[in-house]
C-alpha cells in the first residue's frame, strides 16, 4: 500500500503587492455564438428540488452559506438593471423578463478581460483556508483548474511539492509565473492582479476578526472533503464544473471530486457573471451545478446524479 501524503508546513510566503503587468495577455470574453440548447443534458434540471434522502446533506452543506454571509454568491462590483429584451437577447440568461424588459446583472468593477489560462489551485474542499481562496475566485469570476490534495493523496501533493508548495492552498498562475502558498497572500494576489477596482469582501480581508473564525466554523459543518479515498482511475482530461462557491448542491459535488482526487476546471459563474449567459446558451437553462466530462461525453445537472456518476466512473470498484 502506498504511503500517505506528507502534511504541509505552515511557513508563510512573502506578501505580494499590486501587480501592474500580466505576463501572458488575458483574453476578452467574446459574445457567445452557441446555439441555444446546443448541448443536451443527460440529466435534466429540476429547479428548486431536493431529491429524496438528500435534505440532511443539503441543509448541512448550506451552513457555510449562512456563516460566510453569502461570500462568493455575487460577482465583484455587482449591479442589477433593466435592459431591453430585444431580438439579440433571447439567448441570454435573466433573473426575470416582463414588458419587453429583462432584469440583467453585471460587474461594474472587474476588467472586461480575463486570464488567458485557468489558474491552478492545489487544495481540498474541507480546508477553511482553501475555502477563502475559492470564495475569492468566485467573486473575481475566474476559471480555475483544481488539483485536489486531501490528506492521504499522493499524485497532486507530490506534484505541488515539486513546485514549491509548503502548505495548502497552493497557487500556480501560468499567466504571470506566480507560485505561492498562504491563503491571505493568494487572495491579495488575485485581487491585485485580476480584480481591477473590486474591493476585497469583508470576510476575505487579511487579519479580519471574523475571517478565519467563520471559515473554520463553515468547514466543521460537514467535515467532508478532508481525506482521500481509493479511486479506480484518474481522467485524462479534467472534468468541467459550472458553479459558484456558496451553492450547497455544488459543495456535495466538490466533496466527491476532492475525496477521489479528480482534477476539474471550475467555471465560476456568480450572480452577474457573463458565464451565466454561456451556460444558458449551451443548454437552454441556467442552474448549478452543471458537469461536463470530455472523457465520456457526459453532461448533466442535479448534484445527486452528478455524484453518483463520478462515483460510478471514477470511484473505487
In a domain, 272, yes or no: yes
In a domain, 146, yes or no: yes
In a domain, 167, yes or no: yes
Instruction: Report the number of distinct structural domains present in the chain.
Output: 1
pTM, 2 dp: 0.87
In a domain, 234, yes or no: yes
> What integer pLDDT is reported at residue 36 of this predicted model?
60
Q: Measured between alpha carbons, how far is 287 from 297 in angstroms, rounded to an integer?
A: 19
Range of the domain at 174: 119-314
198 vs 2, higher pLDDT: 198
Give 43's DSSP letter.
B
Q: How many CA atoms lie within 13 A of 40 on its CB side?
A: 1
69-92 pLDDT, tens digit each: 999 999 999 999 999 888 667 778
173-209 in b/e burial notation, b at 16+ Cβ within 10 A?
A: bbbbebbbbbbbbbbbbbbebbbbebebbebbeeeee
Q: Measured between alpha carbons, how far is 16 from 187 in angstroms, rounded to an integer?
A: 10
In a domain, 53, yes or no: no
In a domain, 182, yes or no: yes
Closest CA to 245 of 43, 49, 51, 75: 75
User: What does the mean pLDDT of the chain come to?
Assistant: 88
CATH number, domain of 278, equals 3.40.30.10
Amino acid at each position: 500500500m502506498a504511503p500517505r501524503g506528507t502534511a504541509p508546513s505552515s511557513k508563510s510566503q512573502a506578501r505580494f503587492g499590486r501587480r501592474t503587468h500580466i505576463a501572458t495577455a488575458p483574453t476578452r470574453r467574446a459574445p457567445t455564438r452557441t446555439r441555444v440548447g446546443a448541448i443536451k443534458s443527460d440529466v435534466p434540471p429540476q429547479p428548486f428540488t431536493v431529491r429524496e434522502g438528500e435534505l440532511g446533506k443539503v441543509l448541512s452543506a448550506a451552513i457555510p452559506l449562512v456563516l460566510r454571509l453569502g461570500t462568493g454568491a455575487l460577482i465583484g462590483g455587482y449591479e442589477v438593471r433593466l435592459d431591453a429584451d430585444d431580438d439579440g437577447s433571447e439567448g441570454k440568461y435573466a433573473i426575470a423578463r416582463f414588458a419587453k424588459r429583462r432584469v440583467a446583472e453585471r460587474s461594474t468593477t472587474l476588467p472586461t478581460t480575463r486570464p488567458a489560462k485557468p489558474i491552478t489551485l492545489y487544495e481540498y474542499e474541507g480546508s477553511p483556508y482553501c475555502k477563502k481562496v475559492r470564495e475569492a475566485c468566485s467573486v473575481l469570476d475566474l476559471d480555475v483548474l483544481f488539483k485536489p490534495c486531501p490528506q492521504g493523496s499522493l499524485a497532486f501533493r507530490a506534484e505541488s511539492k515539486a513546485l514549491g508548495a509548503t502548505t495548502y492552498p497552493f497557487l500556480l498562475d501560468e499567466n504571470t509565473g506566480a507560485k505561492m502558498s498562504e491563503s491571505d497572500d493568494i487572495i491579495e494576489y488575485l485581487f491585485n492582479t485580476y480584480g481591477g477596482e473590486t474591493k476585497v469582501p469583508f470576510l476575505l480581508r487579511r487579519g479580519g476578526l471574523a475571517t478565519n473564525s467563520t471559515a473554520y466554523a463553515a468547514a466543521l459543518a460537514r467535515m467532508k472533503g478532508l481525506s482521500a479515498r481509493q479511486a479506480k482511475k484518474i481522467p485524462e482530461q479534467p472534468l468541467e464544473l459550472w458553479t459558484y462557491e456558496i451553492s450547497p448542491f455544488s459543495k456535495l459535488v466538490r466533496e466527491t471530486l476532492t475525496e477521489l482526487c479528480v482534477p476539474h476546471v471550475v467555471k465560476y459563474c456568480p450572480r452577474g457573471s457573463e458565464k451565466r449567459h454561456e451556460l444558458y446558451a449551451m443548454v437552454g437553462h441556467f442552474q448549478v451545478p452543471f458537469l461536463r466530462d470530455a472523457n465520456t461525453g457526459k453532461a448533466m445537472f442535479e448534484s445527486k446524479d452528478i455524484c453518483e456518476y463520478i462515483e460510478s466512473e471514477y470511484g473505487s470498484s
